[in-house]
Amino acid sequence: MATIDVNGKSFEVDEEGYLINLGEWNEAIAERFAGDDNTQLTPNHWEVITFLREYYNDYQIAPAVRVLTKAIGKKLGPEKGNSKYLYELFPYGPAKQACRYAGLPKPTGCI
């Protein structure tokens, strides 16, 4: 099993870099994942990451992109609930990249 080291602690990740143990997540891990992708996390990124963690807490799944986009629109308004906005924040794909930063598993139905 691969691991990453953050602040002197080691965390297990799967072969695609997703955190194995959801409960271990902290903000420094998200910063580390983003740093590895040369992404600087802004308040707009954090808004989506926080949203995903709440979604997972409520439903026990990582949402599909379409579902995430719609739910973000409902909660944060149409200017944020569209794929252009989300892909600008997370160019590798909002569900895959943002879910990984948020410590969630890869979304079910993500092919």
List residues with catalytic annotation.
Answer: 110
Nearer to other proteins, 34 or 68 (CB): 68
Residues that bind other proteins (rule: CB under 8 A) add up to a total of: 13
Rounded distance, CA 5 to CA 9, Å? 5
Q: DSSP code of 22?
A: G
- Specify the stretch interacting with other proteins by CB under 8 A; choose among 12-20, 46-54, 60-68, 81-89: 60-68
The token pair that represents 51 in the structure block: 């949203």
Q: Is 39 exposed, middle or buried (0-12, 13-18, 19+ CB in 10 A)?
A: middle
- Applying CB under 8 A, among 44, 67, 81, 106 the residue interacting with other proteins is 67
Cα separation, 19 vs 24, whole angstroms: 8
User: Binding pattern to other proteins, positions 19-58, x when CB under 8 A?
Assistant: ---------------------------------------x
Based on CB atoms, which residue is closest to other proteins, 35 or 109? 109
Whole-angstrom distance, CA of residue 33 vs CA of residue 103: 10
> Binding residues for other proteins, per CB under 8 A?
58-61, 63-64, 66-67, 70-71, 108-109, 111
